[in-house]
Amino acid sequence: MAYFQSKPIAGRHFLQIPGPSNVPDRVLRAMDNPTMDHRGPDFGLFGKQLLEKVKPVFGTKGPVIIYPASGTGAWEAALVNTLSPGDTVLMCETGQFASLWQEMAQRLGLKPVFIETDWRRGADVESIGERLRADKGHSIKAVAVVHNETSTGATSRIDEVRAAMDAASHPALLLVDTISSLGSVEYKHDEWRVDVTVSGSQKGLMLPPGLSFNAVSDKALKASETAKLPRSFWDWKPMLASNATGYFPYTPATNMLYALDTALDMLHEEGLENVFARHERHGEATRRAVRAWGLEIQCEDPRHYSPVLTAVRLPEGHSANALRAAILERFNMSLGNGLGRLNDRVFRIGHLGDIGDLQVLGTLTGVEMGLRVAGVPHKSGGVQAAMDYLAGNA
């Protein structure tokens, strides 16, 4: 069975969760090519080209390491290659995924210092700066930040985090999770002097789940020489040695690399600046719809609004899960659920990846009809507000 659907419904399923995102047909066709010999000469040429092609998406000229794993694997790789048991890591609780990264750090034997927030904005740059200034002995070895918090729809300002670190004259490494932002939101690994950028394939890169990435700085590579956390599969050293000739130290996910190559072509053909502008535009259209419905956006700080997704709070006494279920049942559309403390309080509209104006409007139409079907108090006109914005802002 190629695709399981418990209740067949006419028309294409609308997958509007904040990732995995819809995979373009062109990318699916690339995966359908025969698997090549990953030790043969053609693969070496392909691998070298691909490892160069991926760098501009990260905004780097340095190495990008590709693992056959989910983004969680790239989290672990970032930590174990740069840190030692007992090291202190400063982290900011921007939402569920920041919390999960913090839990991983604890399990690995690190000592995370967690700056708590209300899950309604991005990283607290002022608090990060205060903690670093107070750390006179430089016991904090790394600052770890989630760029785009998928659970809340808030995008942190990594440039401001870097500025706070510089103002404190603190030597900590900067580790950034871009799993849900890479390829959708402007990102500058080199310019912002990020030491390890973590990412995954299934969001803005428009691939299925299965690849993860570490973009690494010279400072991170130097730290890896003395880091003492155990590592084997995640070790950068054998990866970089093999990657120098286009190969991998173990069997790579060959057909996923075909998909990545084609997805990168699509991003570069559209132009990264145009891709980022498209996501900003669709995010604004979605937020205008939410306001017109009289509903509340989870992210309270406009400077942190995410171009990737919008998390929407329902009025007290109304179930976000029941709304999502009604929309799936009636209109064959999947929306993101609330995670962690936001379970059943919010639903999340994904507007990322291979998506155009009509897909956005179709999604918002499904939400507006679903609000009516589920009996959620709202005003009409959200779709019209989005339509007016998109028609007037090409």
CB 242 within 8 A of CB 63: no
CB 354 within 8 A of CB 204: no
Spatial distance between the Cα atoms of 248 and 255, rounded to a whole number of angstroms: 14
CB 386 within 8 A of CB 364: yes
At a CB cut-off of 8 Å and minimum separation 6, what does 337 contact?
320, 321, 324, 343, 347, 348
β-bridge partners, 213 = 66, 199
> Which strand ranges, in their side-by-side order, compose the sheet holding 140-146?
64-67, 212-216, 196-200, 173-177, 140-146, 88-92, 111-115
Own/partner pairs for 166-170, CB < 8 Å, 24+ apart?
167/129, 167/133, 168/129, 168/132, 168/133, 168/135, 170/132, 170/133, 170/135, 170/138, 170/140
CB 343 within 8 A of CB 314: no
CB 103 within 8 A of CB 141: no
Spatial distance between the Cα atoms of 247 and 253, rounded to a whole number of angstroms: 12
CB 373 within 8 A of CB 379: no
* Token duo for residue 168: 């404190």
Cα–Cα–Cα angle for 9, 10, 12, rounded to 5 degrees: 95
C-alpha gyration radius of the chain: 21
At a CB cut-off of 8 Å and minimum separation 6, what does 52 contact?
none
Amino acid (1-letter code) at residue 245: T
Location of structure tokens 């500025």? 163
Q: Binding site annotation covers 324?
A: no
Spatial distance between the Cα atoms of 208 and 68, rounded to a whole number of angstroms: 12
Q: Per-residue DSSP letters for 131-192?
A: HHHH-TT--EEEEEEESEETTTTEE--HHHHHHHHHHTT---EEEEE-TTTTTTS---TTTT
Annotated binding site for substrate: 348
